[in-house]
Amino acid sequence: MNTPNLPIMRVLASLLLLCTLTLSNYAQVTDRVLLTDYKIDPESAGDLSVEVDATLFFKNNEFDGKYLSGYSLPGMWVEPKLVYTPLPYLQIEAGLRGLVYRGTYRYPNFAYSDIALWKGDDYQRGARLLPFMRAQIEFKGFNFVLGNIYGGLNHGLIEPLYNPELNLTADPESGFQLLYDCKRFHMDLWLNWESFIYKNDTHQEAFTLGLSTKTLLNSKEARWHLYMPVQLLGQHRGGEDLLEKKRPVSTLLNGAIGIGVTHEFGRKWFKTLHVEADLLGYYQQSGDIWPFDKGLAGYIRSTMELREDLLVNVGYLRGKDFISLFGSPYFGAVSNDDTELTFGKAQTVTLAAEYYRTFAKHYGLGAKVEIYYAMPGDLKYADGTREKGSNSTNFTIGVYIRLNPSFLIKKFNKK
């Protein structure tokens, strides 16, 4: 459904302009157990298979309540599907995606923070169950994906822009995606349509446009790799029929640009070192969902790959009026528990350790511990009251098992 004064064309134009620049993004190297390989295996041409992709998880969040209250996530998501590869460059997948939490049988039809504003109060029983369908064509370094795209951590967004936990809780992204790879450049351009509306619906339509790129600035064979990341997210919420129901059109933007370096040490107990610095921005182009219309933050992180299966990550963010659309609340200036509570020049220090062991392709065990040391600065309330905020230490512990069995039904002759 069209919306008046739709600013999305300007957002799309900005995305396409950025695609023509030699700018880049460096994918997160943590949470590897949750990543998916998007390349089509040419040797699978003619194969018709049944594949099950599943992740079982338990995650405990011990938070102090200022930014977000603590909670646990015991559950799993399972994705059984048929996979057919008629040609070396064409693959079709169809099946179901189910999300199950232990101890509950009622699932709201939303996953992202504040999505209830535009997805209503509908519920499912038994499990959060959705159809899954993906068609993918690969040619000359490009991968065009329609249907359920390669989303979540596969976009390679830095943690202040995307909370890795959403890989466990969010619905699969659906829309279209254009991936491109060459010797020194990677690009991921996508549209995720999150909420569709009919004429008399009471919730808003909503979709997210995203761009994630990486350019390697020196030789790929060098032991030192210098790269530049660029990331952009734009979420639009609209619907003509809802304007009279006090649901105004809203467009929210997040972006990041930075510089990073990777060094391959190649030692038994010190494989690789990554250091990256990013400038982050937030802009509320229209609407009044958030109390600030714009904000900035600086973010620096270092990831040490001590072994092939052990990572340690240290990060520091300092921001002013910065809000993240999909990131952890600890990287933003607004409380998730009390949206009338905002923070001054907030700072966050993170320390994380992740262990990941691969048993076979897409079979793995992962464990991650992450500490957030939050320094909120002054606390500001909607009525103008201010008080000195206290620093707090918060942590998360998670374990994951990824299973991906595949059973060949028939191999058709190649044409």
The model's pTM? 0.86
pLDDT at site 222: 79
- Mean pLDDT of all residues belonging to the chain: 85
Contacts of 245 (CB under 8 A, 6+ apart): 202
Per-residue pLDDT of 250-298, as tens digits, reads 889 999 999 999 998 877 788 889 999 999 999 998 877 888 899 999 9
Q: Which range (185-189, 221-225, 275-279, 332-336) has the least confidence?
A: 221-225
Both tokens of residue 270? 């010190």
Contacts of 210 (CB under 8 A, 6+ apart): 155, 157, 188, 189, 190, 191, 192, 231, 232, 233, 234
Per-residue pLDDT of 343-371, as tens digits, reads 988 899 999 999 988 887 778 899 999 99
Q: Does domain 8-411 have CATH number 2.120.10?
A: no
Identify the bridge partners of residue 341 per DSSP, sorted by sequence position: 381
Please spell the DSSP secondary structure of 309-338, one letter per residue. Answer: TEEEEEEEEEEES---SBS-GGGSSB-SS-
Per-residue pLDDT of 194-211, as tens digits, reads 888 887 777 778 899 999
pLDDT at site 156: 93
Q: What is the mean pLDDT of residues 225-252?
A: 79
pLDDT at site 191: 97
Per-residue pLDDT of 17-56, as tens digits, reads 333 333 333 334 456 777 888 999 999 999 999 999 999 9
Q: How confident is the model at residue 1 (pLDDT cuts 50, 70, 90)?
A: very low
**H or E element that contains 13:** helix 8-19
pLDDT at site 20: 31
Both tokens of residue 38? 């998007």
Question: Taking the mean position of all CA atoms in its chain, how far away is CA 11?
Answer: 19
Contacts of 268 (CB under 8 A, 6+ apart): 307
pLDDT at site 117: 65
Q: Which range (114-118, 236-240, 286-290, 325-329) has the least confidence?
A: 114-118
Q: With a cut of 80, say whether residue 63 has pLDDT above it.
A: yes
Q: How confident is the model at residue 16 (pLDDT cuts 50, 70, 90)?
A: very low
**Residues of the chain with pLDDT > 90: what percent?**
54
Q: Which range (8-22, 204-218, 376-390) has the least confidence?
A: 8-22
User: How far apart are alpha carbons 48 and 310 in whole angstroms?
Assistant: 36
Q: How confident is the model at residue 15 (pLDDT cuts 50, 70, 90)?
A: very low
pLDDT at site 292: 87
pLDDT at site 232: 97
Q: With a cut of 80, say whether residue 182 has pLDDT above it.
A: yes
Q: Are 327 and 113 in contact (CB under 8 A)?
A: no
pLDDT at site 247: 61
Q: Can you give the C-alpha Rg of the chain in angstroms?
A: 21
